[in-house]
A and B are shown apart, each in its own frame.
Chain A
Amino acid sequence: MTITEKLLARAAGRDQVRPGEFVSCALDLVLANDVTAPIAIDEFRRMGAESVFDTGKVALVCDHGTPNMNIQAATQTRKVRDFAREMGVVHYFEADDSGIEHIILPDKGLVIPGDVVIGADSHTCTYGALGAFATGVGSTDAAAGMALGECWFRVPESIEVIYTGTLRPWVSGKDLILRLIGEIGVAGARYRALEFKGPIIDNLPMAGRFTICNMAIEAGAKNGIIAPDATTLAWVAGRSDREPVALASDPDVSYVQTVEIDCADLEPQVAFPHLPENTKGISEVGEVAIDQAVIGACTNGRLEDLREAAKVLKGRHVAEGVRCIVIPGSHAIHLQATREGLVELFLEAGCLVSTPTCGPCLGMHMGVLAEGERAIATTNRNFVGRMGHPGSEVYLAGPAVTAASAVAGRIAGPDEL
């Protein structure tokens, strides 16, 4: 079996499962946020549920429109907060010690290797980096998960993605996943598991692995997954009292597809509007002037990402007329970035540093674009209107290229500065 099949079989209490089979799995965590939880709460009540299945296995994170952007958002957040209190939900996050859901849940040890997790947010697939099965669902599925502690799945076929070679300077997890999406397309892994492996992955720190699995959904995948290794277990150690279960695909397992990506010639990638599959190497971008740069999001809001951006921005200044918004992914990351001097460095470089939020990634608040405006962002989607006006444009890249572009005033790699 593949690691994905093993995870689902284990949670379904089965010895074996096969792709195409339907299974009902016990859930280790059910997640919802300030956008999706309000509907989930209504559906939970309509189901007649009176309590959540386990007060320690539900996580409610208000991160999309927070700090509350307007009265409607404040009302939605209050609804989630009141529900969390009423149900005794242990893991409710909103202000202090909070942050972006897909950054704080692993950081706080709420997801560990071996877990099966659903979240009413499509980027729940991020946790596959820990060797957990994690997938996005809608609000009603999350409501059923909160009530029953289980969810049905169709066991997905798996695609293996093997990254070989060595990484060139300034190439990070973001470039690895953008390159793959450029190759297989936004529906290339539809309904399937994307299993990432190879020497590049073996040597990649957790931050890069989270970024890769975060964007598995951008290829249509049900989940992204990386088998836990020493890097994973060292990262998880001390974060949870639970024992990690490190599974791996059997050596003789057959994949529905194998994609091999040789990184020897891989340069930093940029995804052009309006699909993440429209990727180009930085040398092929041409002259693309920008109005805004955003460094953050569940894709690239980790401390390592901020350090990467800081390397580029150190001693430099954001180009005139460009707004560069830096959003640490969590309160803890914000604090550490401050202690390391990164926040000061960003401010001196002319960046705006915000409290943690999903905000601009989905065009909700804190950096919304006007018609005709163009942004480069470390976020994960560049659909029409994603960051604001339907006549605006979003280009996706890693932290180094995004920071360099902020300095250059046009899309540029760090080597061009």
Chain B
Amino acid sequence: MKATGTVHKYGDHVDTDAIIAARYLTTTDPDELAGHCMQDIDEGFVARVKPGDIMVAGENFGCGSSREHAPIAIKAAGVSAVIAANFARIFYRNALNIGLPIIESAEAAARINASDEVTVDTEAGIIVDHTTGEQFAFQPLTDVAAELVAAGGLVPMVKERLGKA
């Protein structure tokens, strides 16, 4: 996966209530969820975000509730990848399962600024910040995480296990 976009930057411990508030959890429609993405901590996000944009955050991104509506909302909003210093574990699993690219890089998370133009190349393991000229290498996924991404998420993987592929 290679994508270029504008950065939307957040701090540490962005919780899933902030990504999508519970009052919108009576729907599972990705577009409807995307329409309320980040609303409680960044009201202008939905109007500002463009397809391909990149989210950058600090530590423990996606902490709190297990709601898969959170990565679904981010993906449906057009975000091509989330870079964070690290992720909360349920969010991490959910993102891999639904095919939202996520990258752990403390260095990139610290040095990339809001509104920078950034390219993410998951095969090469490189993040390029075109605005500052900086580059950041990151470790490619391994083990089950790599298998999940290669399979296109958990649904196709299980489908194959069930002989329904």
A residues touching B (Cβ–Cβ < 8 Å)? Answer: 22, 35-36, 38-39, 42-43, 46-49, 64-65, 69-70, 72-73, 76, 119-122, 124, 136-141, 143-144, 147-148, 152, 154, 186-187, 190-191, 217, 220, 222, 275, 362-364, 368, 381, 383-386, 390
- A-B contact list, 14 entries, CB within 8 Å: A35-B22, A36-B67, A47-B162, A72-B27, A124-B66, A143-B154, A220-B63, A362-B65, A381-B17, A384-B41, A385-B18, A390-B21, A390-B40, A390-B41
Contact check, B90 vs A186: say whether CB atoms are below 8 A apart: no
User: For the complex, what is the distance from the CA of A263 to the CA of B154, rounded to whole Å?
Assistant: 45
B residues touching A (Cβ–Cβ < 8 Å)? Answer: 12-13, 15, 17-18, 21-23, 25-28, 39-41, 59-60, 63-69, 71-72, 86, 88-90, 93-94, 97-98, 143-144, 153-155, 157-159, 161-162, 164-165
| Nearest 4 A/B pairs, CB to CB | A48-B164, A138-B94, A72-B26, A138-B68
User: For the complex, what is the distance from the CA of A44 to the CA of B22, rounded to whole Å?
Assistant: 23
Specify which chain A residues have a CB less than 8 angstroms from the CB of B67 in the assembled complex.
35-36, 138
Q: Which of B22, B40, B59, B143 has the most CB of A within 10 A?
A: B22
Contact check, A122 vs B23: say whether CB atoms are below 8 A apart: no
User: For the complex, what is the distance from the CA of A122 to the CA of B144, rounded to whole Å?
Assistant: 21
Min CB gap A108→B, angstroms: 22
User: For the complex, what is the distance from the CA of A14 to the CA of B53, rounded to whole Å?
Assistant: 44
| A73-B26, A138-B68, A191-B89 known; A384-B18 Cβ under 8 A | yes
Contact check, B162 vs A147: say whether CB atoms are below 8 A apart: yes
- Interface SS of A by simple majority: loop
| A47-B155, A140-B154 known; A385-B17 Cβ under 8 A | yes
Contact check, B25 vs A136: say whether CB atoms are below 8 A apart: no
User: For the complex, what is the distance from the CA of A64 to the CA of B25, rounded to whole Å?
Assistant: 10
Specify which chain A residues have a CB less than 8 angstroms from the CB of B93 in the assembled complex.
137-138, 141
| A191-B89, A363-B23 known; A39-B69 Cβ under 8 A | yes
Contact of B153 among A72, A120, A140 (CB under 8 A): A140
Specify which chain B residues have a CB less than 8 angstroms from the CB of A65 in the assembled complex.
25-26
Contact check, A364 vs B144: say whether CB atoms are below 8 A apart: no
Contact check, B154 vs A141: say whether CB atoms are below 8 A apart: yes
Closest to B98 in A: A140
Contact of A49 among B143, B144, B162 (CB under 8 A): B162
Min CB gap B37→A, angstroms: 13
Contact check, B97 vs A140: say whether CB atoms are below 8 A apart: yes
User: For the complex, what is the distance from the CA of A368 to the CA of B5, rounded to whole Å?
Assistant: 37
